[in-house]
Amino acid sequence: MENQNVEKKSLNLMLLYVLWNCAGVIGYSFVYLYFKNAGLSELELASSFLLWALSPLIVMAALSGRRVEYSKLAIAGICLIACSYLLISSLKPTFWLLLLHNLLVGTTCFLFWVPFNILYFGQSEKKEAVSSAIYFAVFPALSVVLPLVGSYFAQNFGYNIVFIATSMIYLSCALFVSKFGKHIMHYTLEGCKNELKGFKTLIIIEGIYGGGMTATLGLIPLIYFTKPEELGLFLSVSTVFSLVASLLISKVSDRNRKRKKYIGIFGSGLGLSTIIAMIATTAGGWYIFVSIRNFFSALFWPFTTSILMDNKRHMEKSMVGREFVLNMGRILGMAIVVGCVIFATIHLSLLFLGAVLMAYPLVIELKKRHITVA
């Protein structure tokens, strides 16, 4: 009976995760193209990402020391992100609306993702890398198909129908969140940051790279693809090669626990492929280089979570602290992108972001007194 309950909870979490990512793929794929076609500049688009990383820091600070149910946090996140897409579908596309959108969406980094991650990875003992691989593979898997579907509707019926559908799918996630149970979150930021001893620099690097790439991968394609069907095709094709390899290599890692080896290989590959992508000056070149980068990305990211799980830190404190430090890094990464847009070209940010990630394996070596990485 206990095993059946665990399986039901796992299935509920996975269905919720897939549904949430369905909405994310459909909405996120076209929101920046929509605002660019409405006349927003590259600088306005890039700078709007900063609020996406800043808003969860504000929420986490406000809730520090309070007791809140996981389900209530997640429901709040669902309502805010659904509201953001409804606003986009009904209001004139201005810079201020995009800022509000990113402010609301950013809160879900904490409100939804922290409770979900605690529950998801909490039931993944002894299969951390496989669970992480599935976690990071769902979005690319959905991205093979859903951008094409979204582009068809955007092209033939308008962007509004895409954003309304996104909002409705997010709202339907509440059905699964209601099954979270009576889990209570209670933390202090200081205690959460102390729980991450040995990991903070690594997580900062993750945040810098991840935040910066969120902006660059959202904006650089808009230089080459100006119509929904063009962007949808690019998003679908560029994610194809990253799926099977991620699941296979992570299953092997859970058996022999050689995390450091894989992190060194795939981290270096991801950093180098990101740097090389800066030379892409055509749509064809961007297809090729981003596909290679996405391949290494799908192989690398599962291990960044699994090494934290390997060290058996307090799950709630670790996940809250990780999200706080991640978003500090994301602000830095997005600031790099904004700076490159102002003073040079957005492509130059790929050089800085790739170079930062190349330091990840080195930092693991420097931190081995405080953390264990097999």
HSE of 318, CA atoms in CB hemisphere, 13 A: 19
In this predicted model, what pLDDT tens digit does every residue of 250-282 receive, in sequence order? 566 555 567 788 888 889 999 999 999 999 989
Domains, in order of start, for the chain = 2-366 (1.20.1250.20)
Measure the CA–CA gap between 118 and 120, rounded to whole angstroms: 6
pLDDT of residue 211: 97
Query: Which of these ranges, 127-131, 146-150, 333-337, has the smallest mean pLDDT?
Result: 127-131
Residue 2 confidence (pLDDT) above 70:
no
Does residue 39 come out as left (phi exceeding 0), alpha (psi in the -120 to 50 range) or beta? left
pLDDT band, residue 220 (cuts 50/70/90): very high
pLDDT of residue 5: 62
pLDDT of residue 4: 56
Q: What is the pTM of this model?
A: 0.93
Measure the CA–CA gap between 358 and 245, rounded to whole angstroms: 21
Residue 370 confidence (pLDDT) above 80:
no
Residue 247 confidence (pLDDT) above 70:
no
Residue 180: DSSP 8-state: S
Structure-derived torsion over alpha carbons of residues 177, 106, 19, 9, reported in degrees to the nearest 10: -40
Which candidate, 117, 115, 149, places its Cα nearest to that of 136?
A: 117
Helix ranges (H only) for the chain are 2-37, 42-63, 70-90, 95-111, 113-122, 128-143, 146-157, 159-172, 174-177, 189-195, 200-219, 221-224, 228-237, 243-256, 259-276, 283-310, 315-343, 348-358, 360-366
State the helix-helix crossing angle for 70-90 and 159-172, rounded to 10 degrees: 170
CA dihedral (124, 129, 130, 135) positive or negative: positive
**Which residue would you say has higher pLDDT here, 305 or 77?**
77
Tell me which amino acid residue 177 is: V
The end-to-end CA distance of the chain, in Å, is: 35
Which candidate, 356, 321, 362, places its Cα nearest to that of 336?
A: 356
CA distances from 214 to 34, 113, 246 (A): 17, 17, 20
In this predicted model, what pLDDT tens digit does every residue of 69-81 receive, in sequence order? 999 999 999 999 9
What percentage of the chain reaches a pLDDT higher than 90? Answer: 67
Backbone φ and ψ for 69, nearest 5 degrees, come out as -70, 140
